[in-house]
Structure 1
Amino acid sequence: MANPPPQHNSYLPLYTPPQVAHHEWRTASNSAAYLLPSLSALATSTPNLRLLDVGCGSGTISTSLAALIPSGSVTATDISPEILARAKDLAAKAGVANISFQEADIYALPFEDGTFDVVHASMVLSHVDDPVQAYREMLRVTRPNGGLVANRESDLRMWSYYPPLPGLRRAHEVLLATTREGGGNVDAGAKLVAWAMEAGVGKEAIEVSMGTWMYSSVEERRMWGDTMVERCRRGGGREKALEMGIATEADFESMAEAWAEWQAAEDACHGMMHGEILIRK
C-alpha cells in the first residue's frame, strides 16, 4: 500500500478583501523587476516562451508578465479555485489573452518534466513548510539547457516604519511568532540560496539579489493600512495567534488602532525587504 501524501500547512492570511487588494497591487514592475531583463532576453531567443507562475493568487503579476511576452504564454496556478476565478476575471478585464489558469499544488505540479522555459513564484515559499521540495518541483518542470526559475520572498524580520508606534512593533512581533507557529518561514528572503542548493542546484547557477516594497503615498497607505487592520480583526493569522496564546483580543484591537493611526499620518511610511533568486538550468 502506498504511503499517504504528507500533510502540509495551510495558507494563514486567507483571501479577505483587503488582503486580496494588497495582492492586486502587485505587478511585474513592482514585484518581479529582478526577472524582467532575463525574461526579455529569453523572449527574444524563444518567441513561444512558456512561463509558469506558481501560487499566483489574484494573478496580477501573472497577467502583467503575460503582457510582456505577447508571443509566449503564461500558465498561472494556485491551490484555491476561488482566487483563480478572480484571477481569470482580472486577466479578461485587462485584455490579456495569452494566459490560462489551473488549480495546482506546488508540491505536485501537474506538468511533465521540462515543460516550461520560466517558472516563477512570488511570496509563496515563505508560507510553506517544505520550501526545498517546492523548489525541486519548480526545477523539475523547468526545461534544461536554458530554463530559468525565478523566486521572490519576504524576509519578515526586516520591517522599517514610521511613526514608531508601539502597536506596530507589537504587530511585527505577533506576525513573526504566528508565521513560525503556522509552519511558515520568517527569514525566507535570506534562505533562497540555501534552499536552492539543498534542492540540488549548484552555486554557479544562482544569481541572488534583494528588493523592497515601500508604502508611503496616500493610496499605498490606504491599501496597506486596510490590509493590516483587516488582519488584526479577522483571518487565519489572527485565529492562530489567539489559539496559541501569542496575542489577545485586546492586543489585536490596539494593533488595529495603530495601523489606522499610521494610515492617517501624512509622513508615514513602511518598507520591507525581499530576497530574489534566479536559477539557471
Structure 2
Amino acid sequence: MDMKNYNQAMIATYSRRTAVESSAYMLPLIQPHMRILDVGCGPGTITLDLAALVPEGSVDGIDASDSAIENAQALCKQRGIANATFVVGDIAKLPFNDDSFDIVHAHQVLIHLPGQHGEPGPVWGLKEMRRVCKPGGFVCAREAEWSSIVIYPRIHGVKESLDVLSRLADHSGKIIAGGRGREFARRAGFSPEAITASAACVTYTNSADRAWAGQNMAFRFDAAADLRKGVELGFVTEEEATRMPAAWREWAEAEDGFYSMLHGQIVCTK
C-alpha cells in the first residue's frame, strides 16, 4: 500500500487500532511524565490513547500522509486532548533533536520501509528512531510477520491477492518480517541484551470481525494501486486482479471463515 496517500478504507482500518489492542506489550513502560513519539501514527487513535497515559508529559505523532495527519488532528480536537501534537514528516529524517524522547514507538511502520544505502528498511528506520530516543529510553515496534498468515476457507483470489502484495513488497525492497525484530534492532545499534522480543496474534473469526476485515480488504484493493501495479509487473493478470476484491467479500460471508497473523514485538533500551 502507498503509505503517503491513504485512501478512506485504509484510514478506516487504522482508525480501529487502540493502544490496548495494538501496543499492550509496551504499556507497562509508560510513566505519567514521559515524552513519547509515535512514528507512522496514521489517524492517531493509538497516539491519543498514549497521550491519556502521560498526563504530565506529551506525545508527538508523525506520519508521511497529509490525510492521516488531518484525521489525527480532527480526532485530537474531538477528544479534547491538549498534550498531543501531530505533524507531517518522514521517518528517514525525523524533525527532532537527538535524545528527545523517553519512548519512540512504531506500529506496522518498519515493514513499509524499502532498503536504502545497503540497509534493510527496518534497520535504518530503527537507527533513526534510536537517534531521537533518550539514553535509558525505549524504542518499541510491532510489525507483521507475513509468512505466518493462516486463512480459511481457501477461496480463489484471497490467498492470491496476498501473494501479489508479498511479491510487490519484495520488488520494492520491503521486508514484512516482524519475527526478525531482534536482528534488525541489533543491526541498528542496540546491544543484544538490551532487546526484548515477544509476539502477539491478530485473529478474525467471529462474524462481525470477519465482515469488517473482509470488506475492508475488498475496499482497499478496489481503491489502491497495488493490483494495478501487480498487473503491470506481470505478477497477476487483469482478469485475476478484477476477481480479488470480490473474493474478499465472499470470504467475509463464509460461516467458517478464519484469518490469523503473527506480529513480532520488540522493546529496545538505548
Partner Cα distance (2:61, 2:3) in 1: 21
Q: Percent identity?
A: 38
Does residue 190 in structure 1 map to residue 175 in structure 2? Answer: no
Q: Answer yes or no: is the 8 Å Cα contact 2:190–2:269 preserved in 1.
A: no
Q: Answer yes or no: is the 8 Å Cα contact 2:195–2:269 preserved in 1.
A: yes
CA shift in 2, pair 1:251/1:12, >3 Å: farther
Does residue 79 in structure 1 map to residue 64 in structure 2? Answer: yes
Residue 227 of structure 2 aligns with an amino acid whose one-letter code is R
Alignment of 1:8-19 (within 5 A): 11=2, 14-19=5-10
Q: Answer yes or no: is the 8 Å Cα contact 1:53–1:119 preserved in 2.
A: yes
Corresponding residue number in structure 1 for 2:252: 263
Residue 27 of structure 1 aligns with an amino acid whose one-letter code is T
Alignment deviations for residues 155-213 of structure 1 (CA, whole Å, 9 cap, x no partner): 112111222223222122112111211332132x0221111111111100000011111
Does residue 156 in structure 1 map to residue 146 in structure 2? Answer: yes
Q: What's the secondary structure of 1:69's corresponding residue?
A: coil
Corresponding residue number in structure 2 for 1:166: 156
Alignment deviations for residues 224-279 of structure 1 (CA, whole Å, 9 cap, x no partner): 11221123323132232122111122112222222111111233221111110000
Corresponding residue number in structure 2 for 1:115: 100
Q: Which runs of 5+ in 2 are unaligned?
A: 115-120
Q: What's the secondary structure of 1:35's corresponding residue?
A: helix
Alignment deviations for residues 43-74 of structure 1 (CA, whole Å, 9 cap, x no partner): 0xxx4210000011111111111122222210
2:11 to 5, 11, 20: 20
Q: What's the secondary structure of 1:254's corresponding residue?
A: helix
Does residue 33 in structure 1 map to residue 18 in structure 2? Answer: no
CA shift in 2, pair 1:270/1:228, >3 Å: same
Cα RMSD for the two superposed structures: 1.7
Partner Cα distance (2:77, 2:58) in 1: 15
Does residue 51 in structure 1 map to residue 36 in structure 2? Answer: yes
Partner Cα distance (1:235, 1:116) in 2: 34
Q: Answer yes or no: is the 8 Å Cα contact 1:56–1:76 preserved in 2.
A: yes
Corresponding residue number in structure 1 for 2:117: none
TM (norm. structure 2) is 0.92
2:87 to 87, 102, 124: 102
Q: Answer yes or no: is the 8 Å Cα contact 2:197–2:267 preserved in 1.
A: yes
Q: Answer yes or no: is the 8 Å Cα contact 1:182–1:240 preserved in 2.
A: no
Partner Cα distance (1:36, 1:243) in 2: 43
Q: What's the secondary structure of 1:117's corresponding residue?
A: strand
2:76 to 82, 85, 91: 91
Residue 47 of structure 2 aligns with an amino acid whose one-letter code is S
Partner Cα distance (1:255, 1:153) in 2: 25
Q: What's the secondary structure of 1:107's corresponding residue?
A: helix
Q: What's the secondary structure of 2:147's corresponding residue?
A: strand
Q: What's the secondary structure of 1:223's corresponding residue?
A: helix
CA shift in 2, pair 1:13/1:74, >3 Å: closer
Partner Cα distance (2:96, 2:3) in 1: 27
TM (norm. structure 1) is 0.89
Q: Answer yes or no: is the 8 Å Cα contact 1:233–1:252 preserved in 2.
A: no
Partner Cα distance (2:68, 2:184) in 1: 28
Give the aligned length.
Answer: 264
Partner Cα distance (1:218, 1:67) in 2: 31
The alpha-carbon deviation at position 137 of structure 1 amounts to: 0.9
Partner Cα distance (1:14, 1:68) in 2: 30
Partner Cα distance (1:11, 1:148) in 2: 28
